[in-house]
């Protein structure tokens, strides 16, 4: 398998498969493909389907396989930003926002990641549930806006505003911190809580969270009287 990520701020990843090779994606993710790609839809049982639903995934996933020769398939971003390819394997598991997953090679596993601390779940910006990606292979992730990577040493921390965390190594931990001072919290415009991420590991931040864009657009939408 090989792939190309194209399109700058409105990206698409085009995956080229040899005969018999497959790739997995959520239902509805395919943008275009060659005529010899065969699709198989699967849910994975009631328990797995329920897990997908509460972790933000589509209930059903699709596997596309090239038959009778080489084939290609493309997956486009649903929002202006970036598509990144991440290789996971033993000791290289990642945690990402619920909407990040786009597609992956066979052998990559998606599961629910529960925040260990209740506070980080409710106030940390990505809710109580995120996605954990493990197994072995390549996963394609959709990032809102541009990507900024930070390498944190053991015990090193970074404070992130709500919603700007796109992905982190599973070796990192996440908690929340209240904004100090009543005036700062109520009038500072930064909300009551910030997300605190501790190393060791890599943290990927996104510059244009979808909810931020939606809130700006909402100001220009006239309301009905």
The residue ranking higher by pLDDT, 166 or 181, is 166
Asked whether the beta carbons of 48 and 120 are under 8 A apart, the reply is no
Q: What is the DSSP secondary structure assignment for residue 138, as one 8-state letter? A: E
Asked whether the beta carbons of 66 and 36 are under 8 A apart, the reply is yes
Query: Which backbone phi and psi does 35 adopt, to 5 degrees?
Result: -70, -10
Q: What percent of the chain has pLDDT over 70?
A: 78
Q: Half-sphere exposure of 88 toward its Cβ, with a 13 Å CA cutoff?
A: 25
Picking from 28-32, 44-48, 128-132, 211-215, which range would have the lowest pLDDT averaged per residue? Answer: 44-48
Long-range pairs for 39-45 at CB < 8 Å and ≥24 separation?
Answer: 39/63, 39/64, 40/65
Dihedral, 76, 78, 81, 84 alpha carbons, nearest 10: -50
Asked whether the beta carbons of 29 and 62 are under 8 A apart, the reply is yes
In tens, the pLDDT along 2-45 reads 999 998 889 999 999 999 999 999 888 999 999 999 999 986 54
- Per-residue pLDDT band at 214 (split at 50, 70, 90): confident
Euclidean distance between CA atoms 147 and 160, whole angstroms: 14
pLDDT at residue 190 in the model = 52
Asked whether the beta carbons of 167 and 96 are under 8 A apart, the reply is yes
Average model confidence (pLDDT) across the chain = 83
The structural domains of the chain, ordered by start, are 2-216 (3.60.160.10)
In tens, the pLDDT along 60-103 reads 789 999 999 999 999 999 889 999 999 999 999 999 988 899 99
Euclidean distance between CA atoms 82 and 193, whole angstroms: 27
User: What does the buried/exposed string (b/e) look like for 93-125 if buried means 16 or more CB atoms within 10 Å of the residue's CB?
Assistant: bbbbbbbbbbbbbeebebebbebeeeebbebbb
């Amino acid at each position: 398998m090989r792939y190309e990520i194209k399109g700058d701020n409105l990206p698409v990843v085009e995956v080229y498969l040899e005969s018999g090779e497959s790739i997995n994606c959520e239902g509805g993710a395919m943008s275009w493909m060659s005529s010899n790609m065969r699709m198989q839809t699967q849910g994975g049982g009631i328990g797995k389907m329920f897990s997908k639903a509460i972790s933000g995934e589509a209930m059903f996933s699709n596997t596309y396989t090239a038959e009778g020769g080489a084939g290609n398939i493309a997956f486009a971003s649903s929002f202006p930003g970036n598509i990144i390819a991440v290789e996971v394997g033993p000791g290289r598991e990642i945690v990402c926002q619920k909407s990040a997953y786009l597609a992956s090679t066979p052998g990559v596993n998606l599961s629910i990641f529960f925040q260990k601390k209740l506070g980080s779940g409710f106030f940390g910006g990505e809710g109580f549930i995120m996605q954990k990606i493990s197994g072995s292979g390549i996963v394609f992730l959709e990032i809102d806006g541009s990507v900024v990577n930070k390498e944190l040493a053991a015990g090193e921390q970074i404070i992130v505003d709500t919603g700007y965390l796109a992905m982190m190594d599973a070796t990192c931990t996440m908690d929340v911190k209240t904004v100090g001072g009543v005036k700062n919290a109520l009038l500072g415009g930064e909300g009551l809580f910030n997300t605190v991420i501790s190393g060791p590991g890599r943290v990927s931040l996104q510059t244009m969270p979808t909810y931020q864009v939606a809130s700006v657009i909402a100001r220009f939408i006239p309301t009905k009287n």
